[in-house]
């Protein structure tokens, strides 16, 4: 039986096309001993302006789901749409264009280009997307100022603290003004101070209207989201009403194990 979750946090003008729609998604990986059923039927709808945290232990399928949404992997069954555009069934070129238009990704281990300056790291995605270099660098400077590292534009990523490196990764993810900001354990490689920096930053971005889907196993990190859904054994099993800050009216989660 599939699981269903609908999150209502619409703040953008278009309230008719959700930021994310996932229907009947299943994914199995082949392992040496036996197949691993990473996702066992997931339905999820996320409206614009929502900050959703997906919580669960390692191996529950939450990072797999994020990779499928980003078009970095392909589901065995089911469909995924981002801002009304089909992710499933798309060619590699179509997926690349979709990511440039709609997806910003923040990874646990930063994935920065160590041979480029802070400014170049942020400007590059916009340049690849076709923006003129001057315009791309202007937006990059604005983002770096917004995220509190505007004084580091000429620095190399290696000299930054962990919290600053993750801020840089978030700035890069926002370079093309994405519909969805996907964050996969963004505090996992940070100390408590750096992690708190990132949590506060994500909260501020959400307050500004950014739609965010965050994956974490940490309840303190999830608490910053306006909606929390739990995953277990490849399924969405429940929403956490206590962490949900009163958003339960807009959430439906159905799961059968």
Per-residue pLDDT of 38-97, as tens digits, reads 999 999 999 999 999 999 888 899 999 999 999 999 999 999 999 999 999 899 999 988
Residue 160 lies inside a defined structural domain of this protein? no
- Token pair belonging to 78: 């089911």
5 pLDDT band, cuts 50/70/90, is low
Evaluate whether residue 21 is within a structural domain.
yes
pLDDT recorded at residue 43? 93
Helices (H), 18-132: 62-69, 92-102, 118-128
User: Is 48 inside a domain boundary?
Assistant: yes
Q: Average per-residue pLDDT in the chain?
A: 84
In a domain? residue 115: no
Summarised one tens digit per residue, pLDDT across range 96-129 is: 889 988 999 988 777 888 999 999 999 998 998 8
Q: Is the pTM of this model over 0.95?
A: no
Position 191 in a domain: yes
Number of domains in the chain: 1
Q: Is residue 15 part of a domain?
A: yes
**Among the listed residues 105, 108, 142, 146, the one whose alpha carbon sits nearest the alpha carbon of residue 125:** 105
Share of the chain above pLDDT 90, in %: 54
Split at pLDDT 50, 70, 90, the class of 189 is confident
Confidence of residue 238 (pLDDT cuts 50, 70, 90): low
In whole angstroms, what is the distance from residue 117 CA to residue 125 CA? 14
Cβ neighbours, 10 Å, residue 59: 13
Tokens linked to 251: 């959430």
* 134 belongs to a structural domain: no
Provide φ and ψ at 8, rounded to 5°: -110, 105
Which residue range forms the structural domain that includes residue 44?
A: 3-108+178-254
**What's 220's domain CATH number?**
3.40.50.300
Predicted pLDDT of residue 3: 53
User: Does residue 139 fall inside a structural domain?
Assistant: no
């Amino acid at each position: 039986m599939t699981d269903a979750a609908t999150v209502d946090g619409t703040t953008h003008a278009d309230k008719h096309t959700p930021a994310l729609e996932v229907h009947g998604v299943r994914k199995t990986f082949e392992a040496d001993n036996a197949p691993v059923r990473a996702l066992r039927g997931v339905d999820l709808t996320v409206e614009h302006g929502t900050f959703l945290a997906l919580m669960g232990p390692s191996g529950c399928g939450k990072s797999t789901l994020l990779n499928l949404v980003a078009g970095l992997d392909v589901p065995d069954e089911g469909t995924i749409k981002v801002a009304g555009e089909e992710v499933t069934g798309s060619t590699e070129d179509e997926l690349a264009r979709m990511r440039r238009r709609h997806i910003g990704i923040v990874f646990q281990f930063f994935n920065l280009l160590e041979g480029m300056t802070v400014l170049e790291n942020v400007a590059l995605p916009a340049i690849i997307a076709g923006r003129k270099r001057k315009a791309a660098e202007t937006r990059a400077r604005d983002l770096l100022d917004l995220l509190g590292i505007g004084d580091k534009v000429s620095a190399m990523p290696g000299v930054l603290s962990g919290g600053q490196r993750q801020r840089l990764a978030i700035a890069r993810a926002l370079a093309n003004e994405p519909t969805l900001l996907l964050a996969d354990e963004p505090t996992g490689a940070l100390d408590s101070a750096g992690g708190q920096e990132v949590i506060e930053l994500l909260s501020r971005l959400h307050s500004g209207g950014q739609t965010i889907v965050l994956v974490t196993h940490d309840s303190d990190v999830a608490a910053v989201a306006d909606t929390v859904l739990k995953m277990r054994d490849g399924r969405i099993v429940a929403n956490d009403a206590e962490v949900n800050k009163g958003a339960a009216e807009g959430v439906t989660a159905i799961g059968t194990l």
